[in-house]
Amino acid sequence: MTQLSFFKYQGTGNDFVMVDDRANQFDATNHQLVHHLCDRRRGIGADGLILLRLHPEYDFEMVYFNADGHLGSMCGNGGRCTVAFARQVGVIDTMARFLAADGPHEATIDADGTVHLRMQDVAGQEEVAAHNGVFLNTGSPHLVRFLPADSLGAFNVFAEGRAVRYGALYAEKGTNVNFVEEPSAPDAPWQVRTYERGVEDETQSCGTGVTAVALAASRRGASSPVHLRTPGGDLRVAFQAHPDGSFTAIYLSGPATRVFDGTIEIV
Ligand SMILES: N[C@@H](CCC[C@H](N)C(=O)O)C(=O)O
């Protein structure tokens, strides 16, 4: 029996077990252990687990696992939390250049703790008639489906999201699925609920998901920055949209909070 020290972070309710693995001691192939640590009844409980590792060319590397114990693709909320964590342990001050699953990222931290995370450029988006939505890759794959006014609150995100995630179109790799309601007034936020692949449930918020929604919304008239409201809180996405359908200078901004820390026995 050994003990693992961990920190718990959350960004708009998307929560993560954070491990300082600068000594490179965590066995990243131990999917069962990651799954156990993310278990809300038997472990610490989280939507994912993140290792903060050193990297020779960057301030640090972020290694992200979904709650199912397997390596995930990019995690926007997790990225913001890792930046806040890197500052907590003294790896960075208010600016970071780090490596994640989808490549390099830059970030800054405001005095109030807001983290601005630069996302990878996005080449475009694809109409998906079968699901009445659009598909984009913002570091993670996302289907965005727009719903009629006043329908998001009662919408069955779990059942509908799961059907798309495991459906014929995405069967091989799966996708995250976002359901969106357009703002009722010009300055109101876009409302988003997300079914997350790898968590296999609705989460309180998804950073790469709201980024996908903001870019899809720009094709429906929204201009940068787009304000988005998730069940776990508000996020902002700024970007430059180009005539060829691509997007650059994409920034995801929002809070990233340390919740608690501790140690857990592992076998
Ligand atoms: N919560 C994340 C999304 C993580 C990616 C995902 N679940 C996957 O691997 O498909 C976020 O904030 O972006």
Express each pLDDT in 195-227 by its tens digit: 999 999 999 999 999 999 999 999 999 999 999
**How many A from CA of 140 to the centre of ligand 1?**
6
Q: Residue 171's pLDDT band (boundaries 50, 70, 90)?
A: confident
User: Is 0.90 surpassed by the pTM of this model?
Assistant: yes
Nearest CA to ligand 1 atom 4: 75
Give yes or no: 81 in active site.
Answer: no
Which residue, 235, 259, 249, 247, is CA-closest to 125? 247
- 206 part of the active site: yes
**Residue range 120-140, pLDDT digits in tens:** 999 999 999 989 899 999 999
What atom of ligand 1 comes closest to residue 208's alpha carbon? 13
Query: pLDDT grade, residue 263 (50/70/90)?
Result: very high
9, β-bridge pairs: 16, 258
Ligand 1, atom nearest to 48 Cα: 1
The distance of Cα 23 from the centroid of its chain, to the nearest Å, equals 25
pLDDT digits (tens, 9 = 90+) for 3-58: 999 999 999 999 999 999 999 999 999 999 999 999 999 999 999 999 999 999 99
Domains for the chain: give ranges and CATH numbers.
Answer: 2-115+256-266 (3.10.310.10), 126-254 (3.10.310.10)
Ligand 1 atom nearest to CA at 196: 7
With cut-offs at 50, 70 and 90, classify the pLDDT of residue 172: confident
CA-CA distance, 213 to 185, in Å (whole number)?
17
User: 93: buried, middle or exposed (CB in 10 Å: 19+, 13-18, 0-12)?
Assistant: exposed
Instruction: Inform me whether the pLDDT recorded for 191 exceeds 80.
Output: yes
Q: What is the pLDDT of residues 77-119, one digit of tens each?
A: 999 999 999 999 999 999 999 999 999 999 999 999 999 999 9
**Six token digits for residue 227:** 């304000």
Amino acid at 120: Q
Q: In this structure, how many other beta carbons lie within 10 angstroms of the beta carbon of residue 114?
A: 15
One-letter amino acid at 128 equals V
Higher pLDDT, 250 or 1: 250
Instruction: Judge whether 66 is annotated as a binding position.
Output: yes
> For the residues 239-263, what does the mean pLDDT come to?
98
197 lines ligand 1 (CB under 6 A): yes
Pairwise CA distance, residues 20 & 254, whole Å: 22
Q: Which amino acid is at 20?
A: D
| 230 ligand 1 Cβ < 6 A | no
Q: Where are the alpha helices (DSSP H) in the chain?
A: 31-38, 76-88, 157-165, 207-218
3-class SS shares of the chain: helix, strand, coil, % to 5 = 20, 45, 40
> Which tokens go with 225?
């920055």
Which position has the token pair 């079968």?
130
